[in-house]
Amino acid sequence: MARFRHQKPSSSNSSPCRCRYDVFLSFRGKDTRKTFTDHLYAAFVEKGFPTFRDKEEVERGEGIKPELQKAIQQSRSSVIVFSKDYASSGWCLDELVFILEHKRISSDHVVLPVFYDVDPSHLRNQTGRVGEAFSRHEENQQSPNKIKQWRVALREVADLSGMVLKNQANGYESKFVNQIIKVIDDKLSRMRTPFTIAPYPTGMDSRVEFINSWLQDGSTDVGILLINGVGGIGKTTIAKFAYNSNYRGFERSCFLEDVRETSKQPNGLVLLQRQFLHHIMSGREVKIHSVGEGNKKIRDAIISKTVLLVLDDVDHMKQIGAIFSMQDWFCPGSKIMITTRCAGLLRDHELSNCTVYNVETLNANESLQLFSWHAFRQAHPREDWMKLSEMIADRCGGLPLALQILGSSLSGRPIDVWKSALEKLKAIPNNEILQRLRISYDALQDNPDDQNLFLHIACFFVGKRKDYIVRILDGCDFFTVVGIENLMDRCLVTVDQDEKVSMHQMICDMGREIVRLESKEPANRSRLWNDKDSFNVLREKSGTETIEGLALDMHMHSLNTPWGNSDEENFRKD
């Protein structure tokens, strides 16, 4: 039990503070530290609640411990264990006053009084052992003002909805502990979610419906779900939305963000294992130095618990191989979700319970609505801006990332800026969107042939039949069939039921921008898809050996050239 003279929270102390603990345990150490409170603390930790319990008795005469003030302010709740001699401790009463003042400052702070072996009426009326304790405080010449504060605090806490051992568990402490855990769980669950979701989750309910159903299917298998889609389509947001709604249904839960980036760091897989253990072991720091050591500790931590695990932004099997090697260790009913841009991630692994969820782009109405929320802070564009809004939203192709970035960037800007931005967008993609989308292209850096194939398709072959593309590019020494499969795995291209190769407009723009940035002079770029650039290079005979292919619509130009007008003749590879 912390013992300190009461100090009113200062403005700095009372400023919003990031919560570190779910529970702050307040108690009189001499009464219950090694008995009831110890069992209660162990139960909170076992159930996954980060809990603060002062480990040391504070010597008489010491002032308030700053770390205790901070711990109270960084806790979502305070559980106060009232034992028979609680009121005998001025330091306990000071802590009670501080907790109640913090509750008044932070209205969402939960206070749960636990009447272990004292009746609430004794606190309210200050009779029995409580009255005797106050008589001693007065005899010891405590400040009348301080005694008044203590009396007011005891009456206030006695009127709160609390837990009484003799009434609610008939004296059975283990049953009483479980009831306290459930009450705190219910109270905190109503007021918090692990993640703050995007402020305008347009289209989210319909997209997360399937995942919620999968998470709640009651299966006793260890389920694995691959959430797959192009960059910027909202995979992580969807996963967080589903996680917020379902994590309470599991004994342990963990959301590992940015797996791709973390795995690139020195000893990256060990870092991921540490993060996983930190989450499922109630915030405790776990020291591991190798993947093998991590595997053993993870096995011990999860073998008897249902776990919800999310691995966000995975692009290589080695990043999650250790998890799947331990699949048999997960308790029946556990669920694993993986977000990825790589559809073929699990192709070579025999995972009988693997389900794939392909995230689709927003439809036209949803796109316009999401764009409007970010541009106008309302569900529909202003009337004078409707046409421009529709054109920009259409250009985004239902990609939430692009709609959010462009909507926010144009918010509050005059209409001539909107018109200019639309024209620029047709020629040069927004750089922030480009950098986010380029991640999938850069992931192919170990296979430059696939990168080149992607750029060729982006510049010349979007909407063409697959067999047509194969015929041309196989003649240019590409292994086109397997290359297209690799690009499909990375969500860079799709092949529809008519065997036409398609690409999201923003992905296509990204590919063409990569080529455009090769040189300011079109004649020094590897590919010329723009009709005007191709025409000028041919007319001026300025082409260089850098050019691998060009496209030109012969119907638009009256040229005395030796070239025909077929696409095959307009594409060459040097």
Report the 10 Å Cβ neighbour count for 407.
23
Of 56, 57, 67, 95, catalytic: 95
Angle between helices 66-73 and 90-105 (to 10 degrees): 40
Could you tell me the two tokens for 170? 């008939």
Distances (CA, A) of 567 to 134, 179, 393, 483, 509: 96, 74, 31, 21, 20
Residues 6+ apart with CB under 8 A from 88: 28, 129, 133, 136
400, with CB counted inside 10 A (0-12, 13-18, 19+), is: buried
Could you tell me the two tokens for 204? 């989210």
What are the start-end ranges of the E strands in 281-342? 307-314, 335-340
| Interatomic CA distance for residues 1 and 81, integer angstroms | 10
Could you tell me the two tokens for 181? 């855990």
465, with CB counted inside 10 A (0-12, 13-18, 19+), is: middle
Question: Does the annotation mark 499 as catalytic?
Answer: no
In contact, 94 and 3? CB cutoff 8 Å: yes
Q: What is the dihedral angle through the alpha carbons of 378, 379, 385, 386, rounded to the nearest 10 degrees?
A: -170
| Interatomic CA distance for residues 34 and 20, integer angstroms | 25
Any idea what DSSP says for residue 445? Answer: T
Phi, psi of 550, rounded to the nearest 5 degrees: -145, 160
Could you tell me the two tokens for 57? 């008795």
Phi, psi of 161, rounded to the nearest 5 degrees: -70, 115
Could you tell me the two tokens for 100? 């109640």
DSSP states along 5-20: ---PPPTTTTS-----
Could you tell me the two tokens for 372? 């409007």
DSSP states along 21-86: EEEEEE--HHHHTTTHHHHHHHHHHHTT--EE---SPPPTT----HHHHHHHHTEEEEEEEE-TTG
Could you tell me the two tokens for 467? 């067999």
Helix residue spans in 126-234 (DSSP H): 128-139, 144-158, 165-168, 173-191, 204-215
409, with CB counted inside 10 A (0-12, 13-18, 19+), is: middle
Q: Helix, strand or coil for residue 238? A: helix
Q: Which residues are catalytic?
A: 95
